[in-house]
Every structure is written in C-alpha cells, then in structure tokens.
A and B are shown apart, each in its own frame.
Chain A
Amino acid sequence: MESNQSSPPATRRIAIDPVSRVEGHGKITLLLDTENRIREARFHIVEFRGFEKFIQGRPYWEVPFLVQRLCGICPVSHQLAAAKAVDQLVGVDELSPAATKLRRLLHFGQILQSHALHFFHLSSPDFLFGFGSDPLQRNIMKVLEHYPEIALKGVKLRKYGQQIIQAITGKRIHGTGTVPGGMNKALSVTERDALLTEIHDILEWSQEALALNEQLHLTHPAHHDFGTLHSNYLSMTGTAGELEFYHGGLRARYADGTMIFDQLDYCGYQKILQEEVRSWSYMKFPYLSDLGIEHGWYRVGPLARINNCDCISTPLAEAARQRFKEFGHNGLVHNTLAYHWARMIELLHCTESIQRLLQDTEITHTELIVENSERRSEGIGVIEAPRGTLFHHYKINEEGLITKANLIVSTTSNNQAMNESIRVVADQYLEGKEITEALLNHLEVAVRAYDPCLSCATHALGKMPLQVELQDASGQIIDRLVKGTSGEIHR
C-alpha cells in the first residue's frame, strides 16, 4: 500500500505506520513537494475483513450478532443498526414502547462507555501530559499514576455504561438482546434499582468530564486551529431538530451552517450518499452525491451532531451546548479538537437520558415483542453510533438468507476529513526534512480526535510498531523513525 502512482514526480513521501491508540491499525503517508510543503496526506487503511461479503448466505436473524463482532468497543451500535434493519425485514415498523425504551437505554449505555473510553483511556494522556511529552508517559497507566482521581472516574464512567449493557444484553461485550420486532429480556426491577443507586455519582463525574474538556479547549488557543477544517456535517436529528442517537431523520449542513437537507428518511440514503474507492486504502470515501467528490465530503460524530442539532432534550447537556455555540459565535464550530468537547456534551446527555429512562416506569415493562408481519426483501437500519452515523443495509431472498449487505460505518464517513486534518497539521508542524517525534504525535492527535475505529471501517485490530519514513523524490529513504508498541522510539 505504498503506491506512488498518482503522485507527481517531484514529491517526497513520509510514511507513519501504524498510528497507535486508535481502535485498529492505520498508517499515514505524507506526500511532499520539492519545497517540503505537504501536498497531500493519505491515511491508509491496509487491512481488510470483508464482513459485507461473508455474511452473504447467512440467515437474516443471525446478522445482528455476526456484525456486532466488527468491534469490541461499539458492538451495541452495530447490533442495533442491524436489528433496526431486521425489524423492517420481518415487517415491523414500530416496536412496543418498552422495547424502544430498552433499546434507547442500551444505546445510551453504549455511547457513554465508548466516549468515556475514548477520552480517558485514549486521549486524556495527550491533553494532560502535552502532545509533545515523553511517549512513555502518554498512556492510561501514567494518567492513573499522576491524576488518579480523573483516571479512576473515567474508568468508572466506562464501567457504568458497560453495566447497563450487561443488564440488557447479558454481557458487557457481545451480548444478545435484540430480536426481530423487539427485545428478548425485560429489565428487572432489581437491575434497574442497582443502576439507579450509582446514577448520581455518574452524573457528577460526567459534568466534571465535560468541564475538564471545556476548560482544555477554551484555555488552549493552540487547540483551536489544530487540524481545523471548514467541512460539511452529517448526522441524524429528531423530528424537532434535537440531538438524537437512536432514530430520526438525516440532516446535513454546509460549513457556513446552512442546511443541505433535513429530516431525510434514511431509507433513501443511497440517493444522497455515494462512495469512492481509492487504490491506496481499503476504506472507502463517502460523499454527498449532489455536491460531488471534491466538495461532498463531510464529517460525522460528536462534532457533527452538536453542530447540526437545534437543541438537546436534557437540561445540563443543553446548557453545555449553548456554551459550545457561544464559543462558535452561534455558528458551527469547526475546530477538530472540539470533537472532544462535543463528545463530553454527549456523554453528559447520555447520563441524563439514562437517569430519565431508569426513572420511567415503563422501562421494566415486559411487553417486548411486536408480532412479525409480512416479510420484506430489504431492510435499512441507521443509527448514531459513538463515532457517527452508521448505515446497515441488507437484502434477503425468499428463504431468508442475506444476498447483499452494505455497511457504511462512522469512521468511513470521516475518512476524507481525517486525511484533510492530517494534511493541515503536518503542514504546520513539519520542519525541514527531519521527522520528529513531536510531528508523529501531533499527527496522531489529529487522527485520534475523530476517535476512528479502524476495526469497524476496514476492519483490523492490533497494535503494531509505528514507522515513519522520509523519502526524497527519487524514492530514496533520507530519514526513518520507528516507534515500538510500548512507545520507545529509535532511528
């Protein structure tokens, strides 16, 4: 995957392989011109898993549990997106109120644990120790050592999200739960009460996590233009334009905040989205069809959702959104590192929503399955996963076997954006012909802001040494930097 075929002759190439502390394995190549300016950045995805292919021929009811194995961080999102598609396959358009609430609770638990994991376990070392600090310092264990209170609360926030998942699906990772037309198990009063006993602590810690991120962003002007992109944004919103994770219409805005489309039925996603394939990556490049390949790329995820929505249904998160909007002078916030801030607004919204749902008497009701109706040949499930809008599309034959599957995972939607952010950051931090450790980590920080799940998108998992090469226009290596799995660096 180191093709230079599309590069003009007078360029130099820097490759970073792989990027660490993201979910999966990535590699960065920087194409330089003769004046050592970044001409193009390529965030390579070099692994392939092929879920869309190998679920073909499998029975449709198996699919939510097959595709949730795409990822160990957000399996619930895949299970729910697939389950929504399967509901359509069995002719169910609306679940029982209790099943809907249970699925929403499950999804809030999922986003809570994923967002907590991303900030505290993966990103907080960058912010607490500094982007250019000793790489041996930048891990969750060192955060535990130097900031035990922050780290422990992060670990417990994640644990709480997982406890919700376990109560509903039977396991913290890769449980069951959804069935065609509903859910397989009610939340017991005992389980609900156990979750409620901890909610006040979780609410307090969620507010602290938000405050920390707000402060980090507001007090570090250098963060504001770090990898900043004036992009389009795509997300799902509720019917009143509110922040919505489970079910709603699609909304897209231009960078200036004007609407591209709103409340679009996601079953028609193929009319507005297309995917481009590039030879140097297994991850596709989706774009908004009407805007074309060059201008149609967009961002998804927390930043897109907070920018796109008109309000948030829970008071503390809504107040946080107002402050976020104020920071953006009531326009959209394009700062890439504001992803972290937006993520923590969502984390707080999840906690408030969880509290609300646990206090809803209907959450323990046992009417969980709607009788299946006439089977359909096609089902499309879309959901807002932690990392952004997630599309699952299946077609089945008359025997109930999958004949076609299309998955557009959140990280895929952010593909072009990640490349662009890398280009901007590299342009800012590359000096001369030497690859510095600081440059490496700044590039990784830019990628990490998107919380990319490369496992989902491509799909591989693993932690490998990081290698950076600098090659001149003739392809000769003039510098090399290698980073090991534990963070040690050598030339």
Chain B
Amino acid sequence: MPGRSINKAMLRTLWINMMTISSSTIRIDEQEIFFEAGQTIMDAAMAANIYIPHLCHYPGLPPSGNCRLCVVGIGNRSVAACITPACAGQEIRNNTAELNEVRKVVTQMLFIEGNHICPTCEKTGNCKLQAIAYFLGMLHDHFPQFYPHRELDASHPHILLDRSRCILCDLCVRASREIDRKNVFAIAGRGIQAHLIVNSPSGKLVDSTIKVTDVATTICPVGAILIKEQGYQTPIGQRIYDQRTIRETAQQEYVSAKAKNDAD
C-alpha cells in the first residue's frame, strides 16, 4: 500500500478478525466452513450445503441421534454429526470410503431388522431408507432377514401404521410433540424389543388425537406411517427419488425449514 504504513492499531484489528474467523470454523473433509454458536456439526454442514447422510434428522426438529447414519470421524473418535456440537477447529472426516462403508452396513441392518420389501411397498420411490441405500451403493442386505412380526394398526379411517417397516427414527414422536403439540407417538421397549406405541386408551390410532393433516402423519421417512388408500398414485418417474437424490432432497428440506424459521 504505497503512501500508507500499517500502524499498530491496524495490525491489532486484523489479528482480532483472523482469530474470530478461525474460532468459528470447522473443517469437513477438505472444506472449511463457518458455524454459529450452538450449532451441531450437522447444522453447520447443512448450512454450508455439505451432505452428511442421515435418516432420523429433520431440520427444525431437535436431533435424536437414533439412526447413526450421520457418523463422522474426528481424530480417532466416531460421533453422530446430528448431536455433536460444532467446536472451533474440528477436523471432520465425512465423505470417506471407510465411513460410507460403515453407513452402508448400518443401512443394511436397518433393512433386515424390519420387513422392507421395496418391490411391493407403496413408499417405494418416496422412501428415504431406499434412497439412502441407493446413495450408498447398497446392492444386497448382506445379513439374514429378521422377518419380524409386528402389529399393523389399520384402525384409523385415514392413517395406517405398519410397524414392520418402522426404523425407530422417532421423527413422528418428535414431530407430534414439537410441531403438532399432541404427543401421539412414543418408543417403548429396549433393544430389539423397541417398538412404536400410540398414546391412546386402546393403544390404537383410531382412539388417538392424530389427524391426516398432522406433520407426524407425513414425516415418516419409510412406509411405516401412511395415509390410507393413496399408494401407487404417483406414477413411476414422478416420485421424489425418481427425480432427485436424497442429497438434493436433504438440502431442499434445510432450505424450506430455514425459510420458515426466518419468516417466523
């Protein structure tokens, strides 16, 4: 800068700015991104349009860390990105062959624990579990099928609950509680006995307060909670994942949630 000299005050300001920048960034793979205080790694990644595979996370709902697909590597630790706070200077491994292989195995386990018969399931083409399997290059189940017998609840005139397809992501639980303000669903039992229950005197959907218009009715990423008699109406080629990858869909969900949040 000819004609000007850098004085001490200017140097101090520059140093403070640099420190501020470095203290609010993390590095995911090769990309350095900003984060805001209180954000998780997932939040920061979504804001920077970096895709970390996930099933149980939904922008705008509190995270639960159930599905473990968003596992990332920090140093020699593996953490779930959706529930791990972003901290300045984190060096995070995300899109690596090793992690994607782990995610694929997790997806395979989700498949075999339920009855996910994509060829006949009405959610096919609109299913996040199926889409993530495609995204991760899952070509087979690998593990023996459990073929669980879980109760199907068709008691509600408009909503079907097929527990054999539930992956226990608890999105319906959180959506019902946080958005619908109803508390219709909960997860009961532990381990392999864990299952989705309905908060009603009979335990049946028909006796609950759920409505077709509730977010909990439509947020299910798989074919466990469905609006009755709507299956197969969208032609092949026009279903969600016929047109977009799950990565693109995740980004859309983030943009929509942010726009709604900004508007509120």
Contacts and interface: CB of A to CB of B under 8 A. Distances in A.
Interface string B85-120: 000000000000000000000000000000000011
B119 A61 contact: no
24 contacts: A57-B152, A59-B154, A59-B228, A59-B231, A61-B122, A61-B228, A62-B120, A64-B232, A65-B231, A66-B120, A69-B119, A69-B120, A177-B235, A179-B232, A179-B233, A184-B232, A184-B233, A184-B234, A184-B235, A185-B235, A185-B238, A400-B228, A401-B152, A401-B154
Interface in A53-80: 57, 59, 61-62, 64-66, 69
Nearest to A186: B235
B236 A176 contact: yes
A62 B122 contact: yes
B120 A65 contact: yes
Interface stretch (A166-174, A281-289, A429-437): A166-174
B119 A174 contact: yes
Given A65-B120, A65-B231, 12 more contacts: A59-B228, A61-B231, A65-B119, A170-B237, A171-B236, A176-B232, A178-B232, A180-B229, A184-B233, A184-B234, A185-B238, A400-B228
A59 B160 contact: yes
B6 to A, nearest CB: 67
Contacts of A177: 235
A175 interface: yes
Interface residues of B, number: 17
Which 3 pairs, one residue from A and one from B, show the smallest C-beta to C-beta distance? Answer: A170-B236, A185-B235, A399-B154
B155 interface: yes
A65 B231 CA distance: 10
Interface of B: 119-120, 122, 152, 154-155, 160, 228-229, 231-238
A185 B242 CA distance: 15
Interface of A: 57, 59, 61-62, 64-66, 69, 90, 169-171, 174-180, 184-185, 372, 399-401
Nearest to A64: B232
Contacts of A64: 232
Contacts of B152: 57, 401
| Majority-rule SS of B interface residues | loop
Contacts of B233: 179, 184
B196 to A, nearest CB: 18
B229 A61 contact: yes
Contacts of A401: 152, 154
A65 B236 CA distance: 13
Contacts of B236: 169-171, 175-176
A431 to B, nearest CB: 48
A403 to B, nearest CB: 12
A400 B65 CA distance: 35
Contacts of A179: 232-233
A65 B235 contact: no
Contacts of B237: 170
B228 to A, nearest CB: 7
Given A176-B236, A184-B234, A185-B235, A400 B119 contact: no
A180 B229 CA distance: 8
Nearest to A185: B235
A376 to B, nearest CB: 14
B155 A170 contact: no
B80 to A, nearest CB: 34
Which of A57, A59, A66, A175 neighbours the largest number of chain B CB atoms within 10 Å of its CB? Answer: A59
A170 B122 contact: no
Contacts of A61: 122, 228-229, 231-232
Nearest to A171: B236
A64 B233 CA distance: 13
A178 B236 CA distance: 12
Given A59-B154, A399-B155, A400-B154, A176 B235 contact: yes
B59 to A, nearest CB: 30
A450 B238 CA distance: 39
Nearest to A60: B229
Contacts of B119: 65, 69, 174
Which of A65, A66, A171, A176 neighbours the largest number of chain B CB atoms within 10 Å of its CB? Answer: A176
Contacts of B120: 62, 65-66, 69
A127 B120 CA distance: 38
Contacts of A169: 236
Contact of B229 (A171, A175, A185, A400): A400
A178 to B, nearest CB: 8
A73 to B, nearest CB: 16
A99 B233 CA distance: 14
Contacts of A185: 235, 238
A184 B120 CA distance: 16
A304 B119 CA distance: 34
B119 to A, nearest CB: 6
